[in-house]
Amino acid sequence: MTIEKSQVQVGNFFMTPSDQLRKVTKLVKDDKKRTRVHYLCKSGKIANREFVFGPNKSNPPLLATFVKACDRLLSAAELRQLRIAKVITSGE
């Protein structure tokens, strides 16, 4: 399953096919007017891990690349379950 570009919004959480959890932190336009996605990531299966910067801060992926890498936008129910499992901790 792929995601739509319109789903990529700051604060949204996504899962990749390899169970990497990604949280979008910023969307910026580069000098060619292409959207680049800044995000944090961590394992979607291991509790109590901190998010780390996903991409290189100076060269974040293009929106199209981010969309291809993600499997799905997480639903409110999925986010609740990840919070209960402490994969997503308070304040994240």
Helices (H) and strands (E) in the chain, counts: 2, 5
* Res 67: pLDDT: 96
**Per-residue pLDDT tens digits for 4-23:** 999 999 999 999 999 999 99
Q: What is the mean pLDDT of the chain?
A: 94
Q: What integer pLDDT is reported at residue 59 of this predicted model? A: 86
The answer to whether 77 touches 85, Cβ cutoff 8 Å, is no
Rounded to whole angstroms, what are the CA distances from 31 to 28, 34, 35, 36, 40?
A: 10, 7, 10, 11, 23
pLDDT surpasses 80 at 35? yes
Q: How many CB atoms lie within 10 A of CB 14?
A: 24
Give the domain ranges of the chain.
Answer: 5-84
Average pLDDT over residues 55-71: 90
Distance in angstroms (rounded) separating the CA atoms of residues 21 and 87: 9
Tell me what pLDDT residue 17 has.
95
* Residue 86: partners with Cβ closer than 8 Å, 6 or more residues away: 47, 48
